[in-house]
């Protein structure tokens, strides 16, 4: 491994990106509940309050709507706020500011203003946090023109995409799966960016395309290794960006493999997989399909507290293996 590339956790990569952004630009500051002395609900902000002070690492009252409104206002006036929701579920309390203000101001004011705002959402299940603290709501925000929505799956991408988001003139929503915070991976030192709107082929294959997001990328890669032992060669595409979606990378992959499986943690109905499926159905890749597109998403239920039930409501590696195997063999 290159000396300039270290192993960092996903949380450490995010913290390093925020520190670099704050060092490079005095307009960048952090807002959120308990992000100061406490270091954030998931300890992502860490000691940044000690390094940059309370004027730039600001604990907000328990009012997501109020905090989001301040962040939007600060962005419109030229600052570059990074606002952390304790849980992605709490975005529901700030939707007025996110959907009706941040997303629309540039359009409604004829491009005379920009809203360079970053919002971070710890998302997903697996922590025993139950129905109101375990949702995956990225498709909600991905539906809204004016917002950019990203889901970095690795520490490398978490740092690079956050730095790209801070530099973006438009509001960027970052969904960070809570189970990824402790995951480690190679992260280069210094400033670099990973482009928003560009998917990545994590594993090349010939028999089947699996389009996955966030933690499901890792589960898909694990499933691909299992299936490789059966002679089934899976191509795994990390979508990375929900809006604007990288359609061409997915289209090219499906035209190569002729089969598509979409895997995501959010509830299956009206999820990311529906958009990917429709996009392929409307593209030149449709004529290359040898089988119907398959979506593997979460169950049609709120996330339960019980750990066994919680696991059963979202796709796991054996579920991906079974779905991919059936699709590759023409069972579906």
Question: Residues with catalytic annotation?
Answer: 64, 133
Query: Would you give the end-to-end CA distance of the chain in angstroms?
Result: 42
Q: Which residues contact 124 (CB under 8 A, 6 or more apart)?
A: 88, 134, 135, 136, 177, 178, 179, 214, 215, 265
CA dihedral 312, 130, 142, 57 (to 10 degrees): -140
Alpha carbon distances (Å) from 65 to 26, 28, 143, 214: 25, 20, 20, 26
Cβ burial, residue 48 (10 Å; 0-12/13-18/19+): buried
Alpha carbon distances (Å) from 154 to 11, 186, 244: 10, 9, 19
Phi and psi dihedrals of 84, rounded to 5? Answer: -105, 125
Cα 111–chain centre separation = 27
CA 159 – CA 120 distance, rounded (Å): 13
């Amino acid at each position: 491994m290159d000396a300039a590339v270290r192993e960092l956790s996903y949380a450490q990569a995010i913290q390093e990106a925020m520190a670099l952004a704050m060092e490079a630009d005095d307009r960048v500051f952090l807002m959120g509940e308990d992000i100061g002395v406490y270091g954030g609900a998931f300890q992502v902000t860490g000691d940044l309050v000690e390094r940059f002070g309370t004027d730039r690492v600001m604990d907000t009252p328990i009012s997501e709507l109020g905090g989001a409104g301040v962040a939007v206002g600060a962005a419109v006036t030229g600052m570059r706020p990074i606002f952390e929701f304790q849980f992605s579920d709490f975005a529901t309390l700030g939707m007025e500011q996110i959907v009706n203000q941040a997303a629309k101001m540039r359009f409604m004011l004829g491009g005379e203003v920009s809203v360079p705002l970053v919002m971070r959402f710890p998302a997903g299940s697996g922590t025993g946090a139950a129905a109101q603290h375990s949702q995956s709501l990225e498709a909600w925000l991905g539906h809204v023109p004016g917002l950019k929505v990203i889901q970095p799956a690795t520490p490398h991408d978490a740092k690079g995409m956050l730095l790209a988001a801070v530099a973006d003139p438009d509001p960027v929503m970052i969904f960070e799966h809570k189970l990824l915070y402790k995951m480690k991976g190679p992260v280069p030192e210094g400033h670099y960016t990973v482009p928003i709107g560009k998917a990545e082929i994590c594993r090349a294959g010939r028999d089947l395309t699996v389009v996955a997001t966030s933690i499901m990328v890792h589960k898909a890669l694990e499933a691909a290794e299992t299936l490789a032992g059966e002679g089934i060669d899976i191509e795994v595409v990390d979508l990375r960006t929900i809006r604007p979606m990288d359609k061409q990378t997915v289209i090219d992959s499906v035209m190569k493999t002729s089969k598509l499986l979409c895997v995501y943690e959010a509830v299956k109905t009206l999820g990311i997989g529906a958009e990917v499926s429709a996009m392929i159905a409307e593209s030149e890749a449709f004529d290359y399909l040898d089988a119907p597109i398959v979506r593997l998403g979460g169950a049609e239920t709120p996330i339960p507290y019980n750990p066994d039930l919680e696991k059963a409501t979202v796709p796991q590696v054996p579920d991906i293996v079974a779905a991919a195997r059936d699709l590759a063999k023409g069972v579906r």
